[in-house]
Amino acid sequence: MKELLGRAVAGLAVDYVDIRHEENRRIRIAFRGRRLSDIAEYSNSGSHVRVYDRGGKATASVSDPDRLHAAARSAAAAARLVGSRRERPLRLAPRVGASGSFPVRTPNDVRRLSLSEKLALVSHYNDQILRDPTVVDTEADYDEFVSRRTLVTSEGQAVEYELVNVTIYGLIITKQEGVVQRVRFAFGGCEDGARLLGREEDLAQLTAIAHDLPLAEPARAGTLPVILDPSEAGLFIHEAFGHLSEADGLQNNPGFRARLKLGVTLGGPILNVTDDATLPALPGSYEVDDEGSSARKTRLISDGRLTGRLHSRETATEFGEPPSGNMRAVDAHFTPLVRMSNIFIEPHGAALDDMVASIDHGYYLCGAKGGQTTGDQFTFGATWGYRIEGGRIGPLVRDINMSGELFSTLAAISMVGNDLSFAERGGCGKGGPQQLNRKSGKGAPHIKIDRVTVGGV
């Protein structure tokens, strides 16, 4: 494949071209209640071309390898059209990756298991959930994605690399007194198959919460202090801050870019945030990004001050900052975007008991339930929570969504715990058309935020 791509690259007289070819294999198993709704094992392939020429950029994706040369020539002409109309040319920073081969190696490679063993595993977890009498439906999915990628560039770089992501995830859907609630679970989220095994106790704890949740009190609307558990805090930092650390989102927003200059104070000295693709066996871990840059660790907030940003080679040039190896595409149908790898709040030392004791009236919120960011505004949900009254944890609460504004909310983080943990399922949408990236990690310890707006009844 390298030779084929090399010939296509060599055939173009442009400032820069890279071609990424992917051979992808996926296994999906899905239960909906007692019904096995989907079982499929399949593969596909495709190629993506990026051309920079005379200050312009164009891309093309093809399914049919016979179309590759024509697509590359067409992209070259389109890049020149873009360049001819730009006052400020698009340029790439010097490359920061080497040629080579980067296969995924793990002692617990789930690919060794047979399809029937995988089916039995997810069926086992699904059956466990269904034994609870309040469960009216389940979603229990096995998703295995293996991508073998070859990237060849006109700078002489040739990289072969692999991405592996295996997750068992789903929903526990319960109903009591006419109220239906959903609690999420996820195991794995990386190449390590051992994470999928022996999770019965974790699932039992989540099923117990799902059992009780329909009878919980709905959250009351208002603005008040909250404690976020690690999954909620990880989602918060991903949504509220992480997307604004992706330079391509700021590239064409001069007003907002001015507010996020390196060195600006965003929070107190207890706040430290890092993005690190090199951490082993997490949803957002990888060795090489989709423009051939080596993965790395980027300190984004240090002692409350903005100290780093996530970049492609193009945005690094435009911002005059170092490339960070965060340029990634979900598959060959898409051009890479600047994406977080594993973003997390670093632990600081506060104890959960002290956080609870410091709140007279507020909520302790648990179980990340998805979020969304638009500019400096963010929203994220909690699957369940507890009312805090007089420094003590009170009754179970349901139907919780929160929103806020980046700058004031980061400044309102008043306590950071010592119990860092990472979510076991990635999932982040970005771009148009949207790329839903499963290889996106997030983590945090417990944190306390002094003021958050909670939507409720």
Partner 1 sequence: MQDAIDRACGVVDFAELHWTRERTLSVGYGDGHLQSIVDNDLSSVALRVIDKGRLGSTFGLRPDEPSLVEQAVRAASYGDKATFSFAGAAEAPRVDHYHEEVAHFTAEDLVRLCDAVRDAVRRVRPDVALHVHASAATTRRTVRTTLGANMDDRSTSLVLAFGAPIRGVGVSVNRSLGAVGSFAAPLDLVAEFDTWYAWTENASTPRTGRMPVIFAPEASFLYLLPLWAGLAGNAIEKKTSPVTERMGETILSPRLTLRDDALRAGDPASRPFDDEGVPCQRRTLVESGVLRGLLLDLRSAAALGLASTGNGIKRELFTAGTEIQPNPWAVNWIVEPGDSSLEAMIAELDEGLLVTGGIGFHSGNYSQGAFSVQAVGFHVRAGRVIGRLDRTMLSGNIYTDFLRVRSLSREARRAYTSMLSAGGGCAPYVLVDSLQVAGV
Name the 3-class secondary structure at 241: helix
- Whole-number minimum distance, CB 70 to partner 1, in Å? 9
The DSSP bridge partners found for residue 350 are 417
Residue 433 Ramachandran class (φ > 0 left, ψ -120 to 50 alpha, else beta): beta
> Exposure string (b/e) for 318-332, b if CB count within 10 Å is 16 or more?
bbebebbbbbbbbbb
Residues 65-104 interacting with partner 1 (rule: CB under 8 A): 67, 71, 74-75, 78-79, 81-82, 85-88, 90
Cα 252 from Cα 373, distance rounded (Å): 17
- Whole-number minimum distance, CB 262 to partner 1, in Å? 17
Residues 245-304 interacting with partner 1 (rule: CB under 8 A): 251-256, 259
- Which structure tokens are listed for 31? 């239960």
> Exposure string (b/e) for 94-106, b if CB count within 10 Å is 16 or more?
ebbbeeeebebeb
Of 88 and 105, which CB lies nearer to partner 1 in the complex structure? 88
Interface segment toward partner 1; rule CB under 8 A; list 54-62, 105-113, 162-170, 359-367: 54-62
Residues 355-394 interacting with partner 1 (rule: CB under 8 A): 369-381
User: Among residues 4, 6, 54, 59, which is the contact residue for partner 1, using CB under 8 A?
Assistant: 59
418 is a site residue for partner 1 (CB under 8 A) = no
User: Among residues 244, 271, 273, 306, which is the contact residue for partner 1, using CB under 8 A?
Assistant: 244
Q: Which class for 349: exposed (0-12), middle (13-18), buried (19 or more C-beta within 10 A)? A: exposed
146 is a site residue for partner 1 (CB under 8 A) = no
The DSSP bridge partners found for residue 349 are none
- Which structure tokens are listed for 423? 């979510």
177 is a site residue for partner 1 (CB under 8 A) = no
Cα 298 from Cα 277, distance rounded (Å): 9
At residue 134's C-alpha, the angle toward residues 129 and 135, to 5°, is: 40
- Whole-number minimum distance, CB 142 to partner 1, in Å? 12
Number of helices (H), then strands (E), in the chain: 10, 25
- Whole-number minimum distance, CB 263 to partner 1, in Å? 18
- Which structure tokens are listed for 349? 């030392």
User: Among residues 175, 261, 299, 392, which is the contact residue for partner 1, using CB under 8 A?
Assistant: 175
Name the 3-class secondary structure at 96: coil
133 is a site residue for partner 1 (CB under 8 A) = no
Interface segment toward partner 1; rule CB under 8 A; list 275-283, 343-351, 357-365, 429-437: 429-437
Name the 3-class secondary structure at 265: strand
43 is a site residue for partner 1 (CB under 8 A) = yes
179 is a site residue for partner 1 (CB under 8 A) = yes
403 is a site residue for partner 1 (CB under 8 A) = yes
33 is a site residue for partner 1 (CB under 8 A) = yes
38 is a site residue for partner 1 (CB under 8 A) = yes
Residues 97-126 interacting with partner 1 (rule: CB under 8 A): 115-116, 119
User: Among residues 7, 11, 63, 349, which is the contact residue for partner 1, using CB under 8 A?
Assistant: 63
340 is a site residue for partner 1 (CB under 8 A) = no
56 is a site residue for partner 1 (CB under 8 A) = yes
Of 242 and 347, which CB lies nearer to partner 1 in the complex structure? 242
User: In angstroms, what CA-CA distances link 195 with 29, 202, 287, 445?
Assistant: 17, 12, 21, 20
Of 183 and 416, which CB lies nearer to partner 1 in the complex structure? 183
